[in-house]
Amino acid sequence: MEELVITGGRRLEGTVTVQGAKNAALPIMSAMLLATGECRLRRVPHLQDVSVMAAVIRSLGVRVERSGQDLLVTPEARLTPEVPAELMRQLRASNLVMGPLLGRARYFRVPYPGGCAIGSRPMDLHIKGLMAMGAEVTEKQGYIEARTTGLRGTNIYLDFPSVGATENLMMAAALADGVTNLHNAAREPEIVDLQNFLNAMGARIHGAGRDTIRIEGVKELRGCNYKIIPDRIEAGTFLAAAAATRGDVLVQDCQPGHLLAVLAKLREMGARVIIKKDAIRIQGTGRLQATDCKTLPYPGFPTDMQPQFMTLMAVAEGTSVMVESIFENRYKQAAELRRLGADIRIEGRVAVINGVPALSGSVVEASDLRAGAALVIAGLVAEGQTSIEGIHHLDRGYEQLESRLRNLGADIQRRSEK
């Protein structure tokens, strides 16, 4: 097992380049199951989650090759519509193969997916939507099985704008007979990216990024060449780290328009933010100030930035209140931050954070991906040495995090745990 060892107290300075978005790559890799020819996906990050998704689609009958930042994917004419349990349990996003499998093979049998331990994360919205399109779905012994004689377009209202359900249903509807209108759809930039990718394959989809997405089914989708969007959560994590260390960092190759809620909070907390066309410069001007924050579906404040902001609040001047409205169990980082000296009280979905002047280094454990990111930022500002265990979670979503932070001046090393 490996750990990250950070000696805190250094300002981050310099330039960092953002990689392709993990949460755009995963659904798009799944959408490639729908293609009849070769797809080339560009700017694909080297991440554990991407490798697991590659293994998932390979197991379904798809040839996947890596060439630098590109992924070359060619589906076989006939797919094997069953995912092995050990792969499915490694990655929640593996549930995104359901929509394409049903659209293309008219059948799937998959185990309930795994992923970060941040809440119960049911699949009811995915299943209700597929049933509305004409699928017969059964759930037994930990498996979801579905079959159809042919999906048909319909009107679907999502009770909640779930990102994964929106993506699965868009993909299922792309080859359905007729028009599907997806109401109360998620509006995340990754949904827009999936629409653009599917349309590059020949789909007819409009409205992603708004409440209602209209999907006109087509007979066939062909291969294509596509570059995915930059990772807004990775960009946000570097911005938060820079602000926490009172640094001066240019985060380049990002889309500032995808980060408006995060940038607003950073400004409220006192950081200086300069927005350029495809870059953001952030300057920490002094101690951060407390603020309040509630996670919401996009364009609200992202739940995937909540743990990192909890660290900022832990060292800000004054008392901050955080409300996590997306996941019911996403404050695992709080107990670890307390070990570093943070003053955080949790009551259900509400966290009250009294900022302390300084954190002090200790041994902590990352329980999931973004909680790990929160601990890295805490280590960067803490006095003395912080060791972070459980860093395989970080490798799921951040490419070469420690070397990129080192380039910005951080004192951070990866070591094998004794």
For residue 187, state whether it binds ligand UD1 (rule: CB under 6 A): no
For residue 158, state whether it binds ligand UD1 (rule: CB under 6 A): no
Residues 89-128 that bind ligand UD1 (CB under 6 A): 92-93, 119-126
Cβ–Cβ < 8 Å for 385, 360: no
Cβ–Cβ < 8 Å for 177, 205: no
Cα–Cα nearest to 342, from 371, 375, 365: 375
* Alpha carbon distance 296, 301 (integer Å): 6
Contacts of 140 (CB under 8 A, 6+ apart): none
For residue 76, state whether it binds ligand UD1 (rule: CB under 6 A): no
Instruction: Just list the catalytic residues.
Output: 116
Run of H or E including 260: helix 260-268
- Residue 347 bridge partners (DSSP): 350
* Alpha carbon distance 332, 329 (integer Å): 7
Among residues 26, 101, 133, 388, the one that binds ligand UD1 under rule CB under 6 A: 26
* Alpha carbon distance 299, 305 (integer Å): 13
> Residue 128 Cβ, how far from ligand UD1 at the closest point, in Å?
8
For residue 342, state whether it binds ligand UD1 (rule: CB under 6 A): no
Compare residues 370 and 404 and give the one whose CB is closer to ligand UD1.
Answer: 370
- Residue 82 bridge partners (DSSP): 109
- Residue 181 bridge partners (DSSP): 155, 214
For residue 333, state whether it binds ligand UD1 (rule: CB under 6 A): no
For residue 409, state whether it binds ligand UD1 (rule: CB under 6 A): no
For residue 164, state whether it binds ligand UD1 (rule: CB under 6 A): yes
Compare residues 120 and 416 and give the one whose CB is closer to ligand UD1.
Answer: 120
Among residues 107, 112, 143, 327, the one that binds ligand UD1 under rule CB under 6 A: 327
Contacts of 42 (CB under 8 A, 6+ apart): 20, 69, 70, 225, 226, 227, 228
DSSP label of 362: -
Which token pair is 309? 């902001």
* Alpha carbon distance 158, 181 (integer Å): 11
| Position of minimal CB gap to ligand UD1 | 164
> Residue 407 Cβ, how far from ligand UD1 at the closest point, in Å?
26
Sheet holding 272-275, edge to edge: 13-17, 248-252, 279-283, 272-275
> Residue 102 Cβ, how far from ligand UD1 at the closest point, in Å?
15
* Number of residues near ligand UD1 (by CB under 6 A): 22
Residues 246-305 that bind ligand UD1 (CB under 6 A): 303-304
- Residue 363 bridge partners (DSSP): 387
Compare residues 288 and 371 and give the one whose CB is closer to ligand UD1.
Answer: 371
For residue 137, state whether it binds ligand UD1 (rule: CB under 6 A): no
> Residue 93 Cβ, how far from ligand UD1 at the closest point, in Å?
4
Among residues 3, 4, 19, 23, the one that binds ligand UD1 under rule CB under 6 A: 23
Collapsing DSSP to helix, strand or coil, 149 comes out as: coil
Cβ–Cβ < 8 Å for 138, 171: no
For residue 368, state whether it binds ligand UD1 (rule: CB under 6 A): no
In this structure, what are the phi and psi dihedrals at residue 107, rounded to the nearest 5 degrees? Answer: -160, 145
Place of tokens 């951060």: 288
For residue 163, state whether it binds ligand UD1 (rule: CB under 6 A): yes
Compare residues 102 and 410 and give the one whose CB is closer to ligand UD1.
Answer: 102
For residue 384, state whether it binds ligand UD1 (rule: CB under 6 A): no
Compare residues 396 and 404 and give the one whose CB is closer to ligand UD1.
Answer: 396
* Alpha carbon distance 313, 293 (integer Å): 10
Which token pair is 45? 């990050």
> Residue 203 Cβ, how far from ligand UD1 at the closest point, in Å?
19
10-18, 161-169, 242-250, 308-316 -> range binding ligand UD1 (CB under 6 A): 161-169
> Residue 374 Cβ, how far from ligand UD1 at the closest point, in Å?
14
Compare residues 78 and 140 and give the one whose CB is closer to ligand UD1.
Answer: 140
Residues that bind ligand UD1 (CB under 6 A): 23, 26, 92-93, 119-126, 160, 162-165, 190, 303-304, 326-327
